[in-house]
Amino acid sequence: MYKNDLFTKTGSEQTSEKLKKQTVFSQVRDDGFEAISAEDYAHFRLGKEVLLVQRQSELLSRRFRLLQVAGYLFLACSVFFSVLMYLAYMTIAVAAFAATQGVIQMQQLSVRTKTTERSAICSTP
């Protein structure tokens, strides 16, 4: 077997050793021959995907918030320019607001953000 492998012990010692040290996905290894529990199998096969979903959830929520804040700022600028009667600047601000909302709708950021956040919450170990 491998020197760094946690599966070097046998029987109940193996299980207790494994449960004590299993806090991170990379600490337990699958050598392909030893018997593993269902939880360990999920860690081996799904660990990277779970981390990917969590990372993607953070990135999508950050992008969604950034576009929402930018849209609200453009909307506030359009109101400000309309009060001061700067119609040319107001139309630019309204167009920028529409562009940010269009990007949010085109990429379906609100739906994708909710879905990945839900998946990340359900798949946390």
> Based on the domain organization, do 60 and 114 belong to the same domain?
yes
Helix (H, G, I), strand (E, B) or coil at 84: coil
Containing structural domain, residue 14 = 1-36
> Based on the domain organization, do 23 and 57 belong to the same domain?
no
**pLDDT for the residue 27:** 56
Residue carrying structure tokens 């593993």: 36
- Could you list the pLDDT tens digit for every one of the 125 residues in the chain? 444 444 444 444 445 554 454 444 445 566 667 777 777 777 777 777 777 877 888 888 888 899 999 999 999 999 999 999 999 999 999 999 999 999 988 888 888 877 877 776 776 65
> Based on the domain organization, do 105 and 68 belong to the same domain?
yes
Helical H runs in the chain?
Answer: 11-21, 38-83, 87-106, 109-122
Does residue 41 lie in a domain region? no
**pLDDT for the residue 84:** 92
> Based on the domain organization, do 55 and 78 belong to the same domain?
yes
> Based on the domain organization, do 51 and 22 belong to the same domain?
no
Domain count, the chain: 2
For the four alpha carbons of 11, 1, 26 and 123, in that order, the dihedral sign comes to: negative
**pLDDT for the residue 76:** 95
